[in-house]
Structure 1
Amino acid sequence: MERPLLVYTTFPDAGTALSVGEDLVRLRLAACVNVLPGMQSVYAWKGAVERGSEVVAILKSREGLAEPLCAALKARHPYETPIILHLPVSGADPDTAAWILAETAGGTGTEAPQESPTG
């Protein structure tokens, strides 16, 4: 069974993170995107130390979608150089892993989402 993959990224605000997250879920590149607001960041950028408010987004996907997920995330991300970290999962509850695989089945980043059985 293909292993799950977590992707860590940050956004300037929750609205942007949720909008991008919804696109990625609709494209079946991620099964879920958790958005955690209220983060304060201190970071080096172009030779200066900066501070800012951000939100964290954790994307639940699978290893086989790492490249198309990264490309779709970069294409939608407002940052010049977005932080995109792939966090391999060494283990997962079998039901969780099966759900992630089922919800990302057919995900390539180029196709429309499939209709659910209930419409």
Structure 2
Amino acid sequence: MKIQILKGATDVKGAVQVNPREDEYILSFRTGKATAAQVAKDLHSEEPLAPWGIKSTQESELFEHLGLAEPKTLKDALWAGVCPPCVKDYRRRDVAWMEIYIENLDSEQARVYLRAF
């Protein structure tokens, strides 16, 4: 994913799910809200962070394996998606799609969820 986890981030968790066609990479950490917004900005998404809006009940096990809720099930999570090759982000040319979800934990902290494949 080529994500720089900034100083001060805590509760960092990540994993790779190896699949026959494409591997999925997940990463999550807790940080300040301003830092979370900066991580999202660094993805170069053509669309800004926006409310996810669709509370999913779809069973998924990616983040659950890390002891976390699936980000698509979180109420009021912010979301952005990006195709790194499409926006000429050559740092991440090895992945076709990336998603970021940001969960506001309190007035100062947020949890960042990243997924790439």
TM-score with structure 2 setting the length: 0.34
TM-score, normalised via structure 1 length: 0.34
Name the structure with the higher helix share: 1
Larger Rg: 1
| Higher RCO (Cα < 8 Å, 6 or more apart) | 1
